[in-house]
Structure 1
Amino acid sequence: MDPAHRTPPAGQAHVLIAVKELGRAKSRLAARLGPQERTALVLAMLRDTLTAAANASGIAELTVITPDPSVARVARECGAGHYADPAGEGGDRLNTVLRAAATHLRSTHGRGPIVALQGDLPCLRPGELTAALAAGARAPRSFVVDHHGTGTAALIVGDQEADLDPAFGPDSARRHRLSGAAELTGDWPGLRLDVDTAADLDAAVMLGPGRATAAELDRIGWPGVAGTARRIHRR
């Protein structure tokens, strides 16, 4: 993590967002979008996610974990720190690097709330993350299930003594529940809407994406986005 980043004030959270190499991102959209379009869309969704998170209350710092220099550049442009995830494979790589980043964070910045957040939340509203963080403060560990009901949009450590203990991947909601994390039940559609498929992207268009994503989808010519772009999601 960038050494210039300060120690978060007491009670304020540090957000961790892991993003894989752009060449491997959003493969389930390959039938509709080419490699360059998928790359541009990933970066646009990350910008909107970081913008919303930066404007949420109770967030002190944001760090993007990635081996990709283009992702790291966007993180810096959005005011986030960067933790250099070394390129490599492995079935549990995401959870491994999240644990490593959380451990590094605790050793350099002290113990405090941590949020592991998906980076593809183009409809995230600051107030949603603020509310989820406040709800998560009532439990040592908690999570927000995604819109499919099986994945995890955010994992929150509200107890300064608790470990992140991430279990992202297939059926992560069940695995986080079995690990003892409390499921948060707030009405947060933007926080729950991570984008992996064309159907997810259509849902994001209906809900209203952030400025960067709306502009990119308009450039791509994604169906239905022109009307959405005129009512760009307000930050």
Structure 2
Amino acid sequence: MKIRTKGQPGAVLRNKLEQKMVLIWRDSGKYIDAVVTNFQTLDGLGFEPNRCVPIPSNLPQISLNIETGGMPNDFFYSFNMFIVSETLKQLLSGFPIKVEFRELYVTQKGKPYHGHKFFYANVLEEVCCFDYENSKYEATEKGIKGIERLVLDESKCQGYHFFRVGPIPRKTNRSPKSLRGVIWCVSEELATKIHDSGITGVTFVRPEDARKHPAENVAWKPDGQKSS
């Protein structure tokens, strides 16, 4: 069943932008071919990336092989895992966020990688801020999918710098209210710091632009202007 916005969505969005802004974290579009080579072992030990749950204490070091040549981005995905460079890790660690970092064993094209270190960033905060009334999406018994227009209740996001939009679907609880897709959000303050630091691989967009491609065409910038 399609849920469509009632009233004046433009006015709703303008009102939200007057508040302290929440932005969507997206990759820059430069694809990094990287594979977690021991993912099957990790999965067998209860590893649940993107679920905002702690990393199992008995988890071995994660092994990552990068097939793309040259210097990798400061941020990229592998198996939907959030991979960050040491530079980005240090920047994130300067904010009051709940994130576990695990250093990776990295190879590039099968050979030991001797560049900067990379880490898996396990974000632990989930904020249930999805605006069911003003977003446009498909509702199913197993949760929300096919989001065509994303609207967040930003009043619920204040005080959080880095989080996943919830409710997150759980193996034991498939709530119709849960969001089947992964949406990462950051505060305007953190986005500004990342942007100004020259971190590569990351693009920030406003919630209403979350499903537009390519992200660079609607990228948010600290001065409030979109990319041309």
- Range class of TM-score, shorter chain: under 0.3
Structure having the higher strand fraction is: 2
- Indicate the structure (1 or 2) with the bigger Cα radius of gyration: 2
Q: Compute the TM-score of the two structures, normalised by the length of structure 1.
A: 0.27
Whose RCO is larger (CA < 8 A, sep 6+)? 2
Structure having the higher helix fraction is: 1
Q: Compute the TM-score of the two structures, normalised by the length of structure 2.
A: 0.28
